[in-house]
Amino acid sequence: MSTASSSPEDLSHDLSSALAQARAWAAAAAVPDPEIPVVTVADLGILRAVELVDGVAVAKVSPTYTGCPAVLAIELAIDAALREAGFEARIERVIAPAWSTDWISQEGREKLRAYGIAPPEQTKHSVRALFDTQPVACPRCASQHTERLSEFGATPCKAMYRCLDCREPFEAFKCL
C-alpha cells in the first residue's frame, strides 16, 4: 500500500484555489439586501454557496419567497460584486429546499433588531410559527406587550406591530 504525497505545486494550486474561493465568497457575502440594507445576503442566509467551477464563480441564491420582488436585484448585485472582485460570474437560483427564516444568522438578527425590525424567532417547523401565535418582542424596549396592526409591512415578508409599552410602531420579520 503506497501513499501519494502532494507536490509543492499541487499544494500551491490548492492554496491558491482555496484563497480564490474565499475571495469569491467574501465578495458575494458582502452584498446588502436592497430592502433592508443593514443586513447582507449572507446574514439573511439567502446566499447558499459560492463555488469556483472552471474559473467561474457560481453563486447559489435562494429567494426569501417565490414572489420576492427583490430577487433579481439581489442576483444582479451579487453578479456585479463577483465581477468587481475579478471573477467571471454566474448566478443559480436555488428554490429547494425553500429558504427559511431559521437561516438568518445571529449577527443578522442583531442587525435587524438594531435597525428597528423585530427578527423572527427560530421556530423551525413550529405550529406557533405556522399560525403566527408567538409573541413578538419590541426591538426598541424588548417588551412582549405588542399588537399586530397589519399583516403586511413595507414588504410582504414583514408585518406591522406596535409596542403597547413604549408605544412605538415597528415591523417584524415573519417566520417562514
Question: What residue ranges do the domains of the chain occupy?
Answer: 9-93, 115-173
Separation CA 135–CA 164 (nearest Å): 13
Query: How many angstroms separate the Cα of 36 from the Cα of each of 59, 118, 132?
Result: 20, 12, 22
CB atoms within 10 A of CB 29: 16
Residue 2 confidence (pLDDT): 45
Is 159 within 8 Å of 148 (Cβ atoms)? yes
The domain covering 9-93 belongs, at the CATH homologous superfamily level, to Fe-S cluster assembly (FSCA) (3.30.300.130)
C-alpha distances out from residue 33 to 37, 118, 129, 154, 155, Å:
5, 16, 24, 14, 13
pLDDT the model gives residue 126:
55
**pTM for this entry:** 0.82
Mean per-residue pLDDT pooled into runs of 10, the chain (176 residues): 57 73 97 95 97 96 88 97 98 94 95 95 58 80 95 88 96 87
Q: What pLDDT, on a 0 to 100 scale, did the predictor assign at position 86?
A: 97
C-alpha span between 20 and 95 (Å, rounded): 26
> How far from 99 is each of 7, 94, 124, CA to CA, in Å?
42, 9, 11
pLDDT score recorded for residue 67 = 81
Q: Tell me, what's the pLDDT at 9?
A: 65
pLDDT at 156: 82
